[in-house]
Amino acid sequence: MRPKPTALLVDLDGTLRRWDPAVIHGIEVAHGLKPGTLHTAAIDWSRLMPVIIGDLTHDEWAEVIIADLTDQIGDEERARAAVKEWESYRGSVEPELLDLVRAARAAGIKVGLATNGTDLLPADLRTLGLTDEFDAVVNSSVLHIPKPAPEYFGAACLALGTQPERVLFVDDSERFVRGARAAGLAAYRWTGPSDIPYIRAALGL
């Protein structure tokens, strides 16, 4: 049997941080963009990979998105205004999962944040009030390695000072969950607050 986890590794976007699609849709409507335009432009892997491995800064990535939108709509001013408003929305924290993070740390379980992030991550953590909530923050743009590379998970376990088999990883991406398991971690796919009882039980809380 796998031993009980002594460390927890939690994803940020889509897991601990929630994004409200209605907010993003409202921004698109306000700037005359088709629904999904901003999301599609932002997560295109050819644009996303350079920023999450630190080859581009967040601001440089935004300029790439603006250029793409400008090509689509033929109006740079409108594209720039839409991206600026989109960037001002930083999401919100999933309160029940944050409560679990705090309970885990109070019980002596190390907790790390594991994200494919950009150089904006420290500012985002301040905005979200999460700066002091983790024992380690593992940011792909600092490592220059993204999830789900095994080297990413190796670095995360090292940051937590915990062997992979004693780490529980929680993420909303099935691909990243599979990658964590391949690297030797226990991993659980996050679908929402209804998962909290399972995670608590797995940690012995």
- φ/ψ region of 54 (left if φ > 0, alpha if ψ in -120 to 50, else beta) reads left
pLDDT above 70 as % of the chain: 100
Model pLDDT, residue 42: 82
Q: Is the pLDDT of residue 106 over 90?
A: yes
Q: What is the mean pLDDT of residues 172-191?
A: 97
Q: What is the mean pLDDT of residues 134-142?
A: 98
Q: Is the pLDDT of residue 1 over 80?
A: no
| Cα separation, 116 vs 13, whole angstroms | 9
| Cα separation, 115 vs 147, whole angstroms | 8
CATH architecture of 7-18+92-203: 3-Layer(aba) Sandwich (3.40)
pLDDT in tens, 45-72: 888 999 999 999 999 999 999 998 898 8
Contact between residue 189 and residue 172 where contact means Cβ atoms under 8 Å apart: yes
Q: What is the mean pLDDT of residues 63-89?
A: 91
Model pLDDT, residue 189: 98
Model pLDDT, residue 72: 83
Q: Is the pLDDT of residue 75 over 90?
A: no
Residues whose CB falls within 8 Å of the CB of residue 101, separated by 6 or more in sequence, listed in order: 8, 10, 16, 111, 133, 134
The DSSP bridge partners found for residue 136 are 112
Q: What is the DSSP letter of 170?
A: E
Model pLDDT, residue 57: 95
Q: What is the mean pLDDT of residues 32-41?
A: 86
Mean pLDDT of the chain: 95
Contact between residue 148 and residue 154 where contact means Cβ atoms under 8 Å apart: no
Model pLDDT, residue 36: 87
Contact between residue 7 and residue 166 where contact means Cβ atoms under 8 Å apart: yes
Model pLDDT, residue 174: 97
